Amino acid sequence: MFRSMEEIQAENTIKEAKDRVKAREFEMKTFYKAELHKQNESINDRKEAFEYLRHRQGDQNQAVKQRNKQIMMKLKRSQK
C-alpha cells in the first residue's frame, strides 16, 4: 500500500509539473503574439507617417517650383 501511494504522489507531481509547463508555454505564446501584433502595428504606423511625409515633401517641392516659375514670368514681363 505504501508503494502505491508513493507512485500516485509521484504521478500527481509529474502531472502538476507538466500542467505548469503547458500553462507557461501558453502564456509565452500569447505574449509573443501580442508583442508581434504591436510590433507590426508600429511598423505600419511608421510606414504611414513616412509615406505622408514623402507626399507632403513632393507637394511642397512642386509648390516651390511653381512659385519660382511665377516669379521668373513676372521678371520677364517687367523686363520687356
Given a cut of 90, is residue 66 above it in pLDDT?
A: no
Helix, strand, coil distribution of the chain in percent, nearest 5: 100, 0, 0
pLDDT at 42: 93
50 alpha-carbon distance from chain centroid: 14
The domain spans of the chain are 1-80
Spatial distance between the Cα atoms of 37 and 15, rounded to a whole number of angstroms? 33
pLDDT at 2: 62
Residues 7-50: pLDDT tens digits? 888 899 999 999 999 999 999 999 999 999 999 999 999 999 88
The Cα-based distances of 77 to 1, 42, 80 in angstroms read 114, 52, 5
Spatial distance between the Cα atoms of 8 and 20, rounded to a whole number of angstroms? 18
